[in-house]
Amino acid sequence: MSTPHASTVDEATEQSPGVRAAPPLAPSSAQPRRPAGRGFSSASRGGRVAGLDGLRTVAVVLVIVYHVEPDLVPGGSVGVDVFFTLSGFVITRLLVAEYARTGRIGLGAFYRRRWRRLGPAMLAMCVVTALLSVALPLPLFDGAWVAAALAAVSVVNLVRAGEPGPYSDLTTSLAHTWSLGVEEQFYLAWPLLLLVLLRHAAARTVLVWVAVLCVLPVIWRTVLWDPTAAHRIYNGPDTRADQLLVGALLAVVLARLRADDPRLALLRHWAGRLCGPALALLGLIAWQIPITGASGWNPVWYTVGFLATAVVSATVVAALDLCPRAWPSHLLSTSAPAWVGRNLSYGMYLWHYPVIRLLSDLGVHGDRLLPAGLATTAVAALASYALVERPLLRRDPIRMRRWEPVVAAERSSAL
């Protein structure tokens, strides 16, 4: 699928319900009012970026391998950190572009699009898990209806954050949905806060405020840090906010720079040069550094490590967005990983955890579990895409035709 042109995204948003046209210009005799948020570009640079879709495929496969063979990639949960930064980038880029173009953010339309993209597939997975908990006497599904209810309302991360000791069995069957809870809570709060900043501050001031917000969770984690607070820090929406906000900061920076700005050329140059080392560093983290569980790395990762990982991830995101001809973009933009990232990565993340646990309960172990888990997860994700996600885009052809370029871009923000 080709990347939509930026003007296509802009046009689709201007025609979409819930987004008003910009107010008429004041008469020439009137003193023009300085618009809030002036200095941002309404162009969504490059539209959909295939390299970012490929990055999502790599990240979700890394997480799946980590959940099956943690000894193989003890730091594989870094894939979730990459997802967080990518989510903050894509969502903020669209919101800032909408505000620069129309003078407002259609919050109702934004929340509806988020629900249509994420909610039905999540509910389908929760319903299937809850029904199986009643029908099958397997360890995985023992009391799984409680976990399904918590996942459906996106609070699994909050429950886990409140457990100072070992995690209880309350959310075990759908424990992976903690990260979806963090993202949903960010989507709920961030557009409102961003709208306040855009309305009441100049573009440079918005940039400064977002940078400050990136640092606050680090300070808060340092205050909270104690081995008994590891669950609180790892699952809290406030203690993981910097990873999403670093992506948001990158989006704000790019929205500030016009195509002929020499600072954009400098950013493109350094992002291209640092992308390879950044990818290598993320790979090294996944291969050698355990992020979850008790280890000597915990004091580092649970204070400054999350922010450092987000900065490295943002370097990769910037390079993929700005340097489409560089080798990382070529590699991640190939048709297979780009298609999977665009259409299946969210479903794969949703289904991989219950699928792997189900296969394990059915006696699939050892070297067979990883290939069987990947294959079964892909089938479940295809079913989710074909039966739940894609039909919703066709349910209202006229309305969704107007929104589809924006929805397609927003898919890059979903796990």
Q: Residue 301: how many CA atoms within 13 Å on its side-chain side?
A: 19
Name the average pLDDT for the chain.
85
321 lies in some domain? no
| Inside any domain, residue 24 | no
Does some domain include residue 323?
no
Could you tell me if 66 and 79 are in contact, meaning their C-beta atoms sit under 8 angstroms apart? yes
Q: Residue 331 CA to chain centroid, in angstroms? A: 21
> Which residues have C-beta within 8 Å of that of residue 209, sequence separation ≥ 6?
197, 201
- Owning domain of residue 215: 62-264+283-310+342-410
| Residue 328 included in any domain | no
Distance CA(106)–CA(74), nearest Å, equals 41
Structure tokens at 87: 């989510």
Please state the domain count of the chain: 1
pLDDT above 60 for 330? yes
380: its two tokens: 């479940």
pLDDT one-digit tens code per residue, 387-415: 999 887 666 544 444 444 444 455 555 56
pLDDT tens for 64-108 read: 999 999 999 999 999 999 999 999 999 999 999 999 888 899 999
Q: Are 42 and 89 in contact (CB under 8 A)?
A: no
- Report the candidate in 109, 47, 92, 280 with the shortest Cα–Cα distance to residue 193: 92
**Any idea what the Cα angle at residue 386 is, between residues 149 and 413, rounded to 5°?**
65
Closest-CA residue to 90 (of 124, 57, 114) = 114
Q: Would you say residue 130 has pLDDT above 50?
A: yes
Residue 135 is encoded by which pair of tokens? Answer: 């029908």
pLDDT at 22 (0 to 100): 40
Contact call for residues 101 and 9 (beta carbons, < 8 A): no
Of 49, 15, 22, nearest to 328 by C-alpha is 49
Residues 6+ apart with CB under 8 A from 355: 373, 376, 377, 380
Question: What CA–CA distances, in Å, run from 72 to 67, 68, 166, 286, 313?
Answer: 10, 9, 23, 9, 21
Helix axes 107-135, 144-152, angle to 10 degrees: 170
Lowest mean pLDDT, pick from 236-250, 366-380, 401-415: 401-415
Mean pLDDT of all residues in 199-217: 95
Residue at 158 is within a domain: yes
> Does the pLDDT of residue 32 top 70, yes or no?
no
6 in any annotated domain: no
pLDDT at 12: 34
pLDDT at 185 exceeding the cut of 70: yes
* CA 10/CA 97 separation, integer angstroms: 8
**How far apart, in whole angstroms, are the C-alpha atoms of residue 273 and residue 157?**
36
Q: What is the mean pLDDT of residues 363-382?
A: 94
Q: How many CB atoms are located within 10 Å of the residue 199 CB? A: 15
Neighbouring CB atoms inside 10 A of 84's CB total 27
Is 8 a residue whose pLDDT tops 60?
Answer: no
Q: Is residue 275 part of a domain?
A: no
pLDDT of 413: 55
Using an 8 Å Cβ cutoff, are 123 and 65 in contact? no
Q: What is the pLDDT of residues 38-50, one digit of tens each?
A: 677 655 554 678 9
Residue percentage of the chain with pLDDT more than 70: 83
DSSP string, 358-389: HHHHTT--GGGHHHHHHHHHHHHHHHHIIIII
Q: Radius of gyration over alpha carbons of the chain, in Å?
A: 21
Percent above pLDDT 90 for the chain:
65
- What pTM was estimated for this model as a whole? 0.85
State phi, psi for 222 to the nearest 5 degrees: -65, -40
Which tokens go with 391? 């039909």
Within-domain flag for 330: no
**CA distances, 109 to each of 19, 25, 64, 359, 400 (Å):** 8, 25, 33, 39, 12
The C-alpha angle 73, 274, 289, rounded to 5 degrees, equals 20
DSSP percent split of the chain into helix, strand, coil, nearest 5: 75, 0, 25
